[in-house]
Amino acid sequence: MLRILFSARVVVLHLLAVGALVVCGLLGRWQLGVFEDSGRPHSLLDPAPVAVTTLTAPGKHLTADAVSRRVTAEGTFDASKRLLVAERDGGLWLLSPLDLGDGTSIPVVRGWVATAGDPAVTAPAEGRVVLSGRLQASEATDSVQRRTRQLPPGQVLTVSSAELINLWRGTKLRDGFMVAATQSPAPEVAARPVSVPPPTEPGGLTWRNLAYAAQWWIFGLFAVFMWWHFVRDALRGRTRERDAADAADSDPAPSPTPEAETPALPARTAP
């Protein structure tokens, strides 16, 4: 048996089977990785910052491609209208309207503080400032939660344009809000910047790649089956040859049979 298993022809079958199994396994794992990656969010191109006035307008909702875009803004904060947005990562956001100088304002999240008594809450923000950050869509207002929660004066639960219009009367607001990353000149007591991830698009599972992975693994199993089939046939053929040789050696050769003597006929005499 070992002579058959390690013969040149069968060794070639071993190598082909191992190669096919490794290749099909790796290709299947690659397709499975593509399938898994397709379900993860994918980062989009992050364009250069633009002025916030080019992406926002009073009375017009932000477009989907404007959300999370990098923007810049220049104007003055109205310190008399600052608010705190409650329940934000265990603390509060500092929210103020930024007067853009064209009769419109945009809500700006200036940073994060742990408590309402943080010095950054009452830090003066006088004069003209230049901000850079990311634009976010207006948040939905949960009217039921707002009625059931009793917040201290000057605090809100969401950054909602519809709610802020009522709170900041006389202010013509642009839709959405800006999360500031930098401010120039910097305030004397700065709050911790709020991190906003770059724009992404949700992933969608590509089931086709999962099917491809299954196909490659099935091909690998088929290669193993064919290897087993050819090796089995080789062993069976060798077994049949050996049995036939053993049978030929065990049977004695038949002895020749003597020919029967034909009795001689008497000679016929002439009459």
Residues 28 and 85 in one domain: no
Helices (H), the chain: 2-5, 8-38, 143-148, 161-167, 207-250
Our count of domains for the chain comes to 2
Residues 32 and 60 in one domain: no
264 lies in some domain:
no
148 lies in some domain:
yes
pLDDT in tens, 257-270: 555 555 555 555 55
Domain carrying residue 117: 50-201
Residues 181 and 56 in one domain: yes
Residues 179 and 109 in one domain: yes
54 lies in some domain:
yes
- 271: buried, middle or exposed (CB in 10 Å: 19+, 13-18, 0-12)? exposed
Segment 214-219 shows an average pLDDT of 88
Token duo for residue 89: 């990562």
Q: Indicate the average pLDDT of the chain.
A: 80
Confidence of residue 113 (pLDDT cuts 50, 70, 90): very high
Residues 65 and 79 in one domain: yes
Q: pTM score > 0.85 for this model? A: no
Phi and psi of 154, rounded to 5°? 85, 10
CA 22/CA 5 separation, integer angstroms: 21
Residues 118 and 213 in one domain: no
71 lies in some domain:
yes
Token duo for residue 267: 């000679």
161 lies in some domain:
yes
Residues 173 and 116 in one domain: yes
238 lies in some domain:
no
Instruction: Using the predicted structure, report yes or no on whether residue 101 has a pLDDT greater than 70.
Output: yes
> CB of 72 within 8 A of CB of 129?
no
CA 169/CA 259 separation, integer angstroms: 137
